[in-house]
Amino acid sequence: MSVGPVIIITGTPGTGKSTHAQRLVDESPVPLQHINVGEWVKEKGWYEEFDEEWQSYTVDEDKVRDIPDYEAIADALGQLLDELEPIVAGGGVILDWHTCEVFPERWADLVLVLRCDHSQLWKRLEKRNYHLKKIQENNEAEIMQVVLEEARASYPAEIVVELKSESTEDLEANIARIVDWITVWKKERASG
Ligand SMILES: Nc1ncnc2c1ncn2[C@@H]1O[C@H](COP(=O)(O)OP(=O)(O)O)[C@@H](O)[C@H]1O
């Protein structure tokens, strides 16, 4: 039996996924491991463009046909999922990535989609020294709620939760709400 739930935290880059994940690692009533999937992909050096291309793909599905190395990306994705599978099977994992549809539906106990006002998101991404084009693309994706639609299309409605992440108050309220959810998850598992 898993010791902890599998929580996917997704959202446009800069919405606060890593911030939320780190707080949950510290405050969850059950042990949770934070996997920053984007960092993983980079560290593994599976495919240097993978993260970026996949992001474009989620912005516009038609673009998939235009990706020159689509096979290399599909291959990298297969490897990524193979490596994640045993970790996810053990439970107690937070998967943090700007896309979520690639993860099998059966993996997720809870899918959190973080949202942020676009002008604030713009400032956060500027601080990261992103190129203007990348800021614009991400901003547009946030306005068009691309990640939320993707999550809704990929997982049952009852496990997809949209959370505002614009202020410290939002962060605190979100963490308290998720910790409550984990506490209930734990009790339900204990009573079997
Ligand atoms: N709810 C929030 N309120 C205020 N600032 C936030 C909030 N969430 C994230 N931030 C800030 O926005 C920036 C991006 O957050 P981060 O967690 O790295 O986003 P992501 O992992 O989604 O790319 C960081 O500087 C972080 O401190």
- Span 6-185 CATH architecture: 3-Layer(aba) Sandwich (3.40)
Q: Is 19 in the pocket of ligand 1 (CB under 6 A)?
A: yes
Give the pTM.
Answer: 0.91
Reported ipTM:
0.99
Q: How do residues 114-145 score in pLDDT, each as one tens digit?
A: 999 999 999 999 999 888 988 999 999 999 99
pLDDT in tens, 131-185: 898 899 999 999 999 999 999 999 999 999 999 999 999 999 999 999 999 999 9
For residue 152, the CA-to-ligand 1 centroid distance in Å is 23
Report yes or no: 114 and 20 within 8 Å, Cβ to Cβ: yes
| Domain boundaries along the sequence of the chain | 6-185
Q: Give the whole-angstrom CA distance, residue 12 versus residue 14.
A: 6
Spacing, Cα 171 to ligand 1 middle (Å): 9
Directed axis angle between helix 50-59 and helix 132-143, to 10°?
40
Contact by Cβ (8 Å): 85, 106: no
